[in-house]
Amino acid sequence: MDAGREADHRSAESFREFVANRSSALLRTAVLLSGGDRHAGEDLLQNALIKVAGRWNRVEDPEAYVRQVLYRQQISRWRLKWPRREVSYGQVPDTAAAGGDDAAAELRVVLRAALSRLTARQRTVLVLRYFEDLPEADVARLLGCSVGTVRSTTHRSLARLRAVAPELALLGAADGEQPPSRDYSPVEVRP
């Protein structure tokens, strides 16, 4: 009986250590999945950790498992019949740290606002593809859809992101410099 308690104690300590070491990285992902809403991201992460805590002894790769629970919970949220009420603010809060880079802070604020205007599915696909840097096949497996669906959703999501926040392209360019434009005019090809 003492051996069982000792194993439970080691398991609980291992879980606490994992949460202490990885919670900030996992919270960033959860906030992005929640459209920049820190409170919703905290709720998403907390619910995921509660689910993982009960299976902790059987988990081989804890971080991958927690991330998969985060993604699946977010999918469940967007499949709800009644969408959650949006929270709107009169003014975008300035989250830049004192002495931080103003352009980077502005980019974060604009990106967070633009992501919040996407659907949960679009936001999730973009976070998985570009923030988590997962290949299309892995995103399809996590979301339970085909690779073609991931590609088309990524394409539509990026187009929507460009439409709702054209200033994102301008923030990446140097002062006074316009971002490079693509020339789609016909070109004569000679044999």
Tens of pLDDT, residue by residue, the chain (191 residues): 577 677 777 888 889 999 999 999 999 989 888 888 888 889 999 999 998 888 888 888 888 889 889 988 888 876 665 555 555 556 665 554 444 567 677 777 888 888 888 888 898 899 889 888 889 998 898 888 899 999 999 999 988 988 888 877 665 554 444 544 544 455 555 55
CB 110 within 8 A of CB 166: no
**pTM over the 0.75 mark:** no
CB 46 within 8 A of CB 31: no
Q: Is the dihedral of CA 38, 81, 153, 72 positive or negative?
A: positive
The whole-angstrom separation of Cα 148 and Cα 15 is 37
Q: Is the dihedral of CA 177, 180, 186, 191 positive or negative?
A: positive
The whole-angstrom separation of Cα 158 and Cα 152 is 10
The whole-angstrom separation of Cα 114 and Cα 103 is 16
3-state class of 72 per DSSP? helix
- For tokens 């992101």, name the residue: 161
What is the model's pLDDT at position 167? 79
Which token pair is 94?
Answer: 């300035």
What is the model's pLDDT at position 83? 54
The whole-angstrom separation of Cα 17 and Cα 115 is 32
What is the model's pLDDT at position 101? 65
What is the model's pLDDT at position 86? 54
The whole-angstrom separation of Cα 127 and Cα 182 is 26
The whole-angstrom separation of Cα 179 and Cα 175 is 10
